[in-house]
Amino acid sequence: MEATATFFLVGSRIAGHEEVVAQIAAEGHEIGSHSWRHEGPARSRVVLLTELFRTSVAIRAASGVRPRWFRPPYSRSTPTLVRAARLAGMRTVTWDVDPRDWERDDPADIVERVLRSTRAGSIVVFHEDRPATVAAIASVVENLKLMGLETVTVTELLDGE
């Protein structure tokens, strides 16, 4: 299965998994920030900015790449959060397809939910720490190809790179 994606990482979870983070980058995937502790935006701009920089430093130390994208936890964004991400050198992005894989145990259900909602230009959110999600990915990619769609990074999708 050939596919590329953008992995949004929670900074506090990188320690101890640096080899995996490096492998993600080495395989041609993009790495973005998903905050330091996966909390909502109800913090001061200074705290938000500090946590975004801290996550960027952890990603760069593990992978050698600087994240260009920030995906806010729970897709909850505020103008302050978007500005903080900008100051940290990132653009903010969310998704339009959520198979709710974090609450599903059936890979076939995840596949069906993705295929039902995905269109050209869609951004699908997955949670890689779920066994059902991992089991669903190959089928999702194969079926998207049958639909004439391909997986790309967020940068490729939104910037055409």
Pair (67, 114) in one structural domain: no
Pair (116, 84) in one structural domain: no
Total number of domains constituting the chain: 2
Domain boundary among 72, 94, 116: 94
pLDDT of residue 75: 86
Residue 161 domain-assigned? no
The whole-angstrom separation of Cα 83 and Cα 44 is: 12
Pair (14, 61) in one structural domain: yes
Read off the CATH number of the domain in which 48 is found.
3.20.20.370
What is the pLDDT tens value at each position of the chain, 161 positions in all? 589 999 999 999 999 999 999 999 999 999 999 999 877 766 777 888 889 999 999 999 999 999 999 999 888 888 888 988 999 999 999 999 999 998 888 999 999 999 999 999 999 999 877 899 999 999 999 999 999 999 999 999 998 75
* Domain of residue 150, residue span: 95-156
pTM for this one?
A: 0.91
Pair (106, 138) in one structural domain: yes
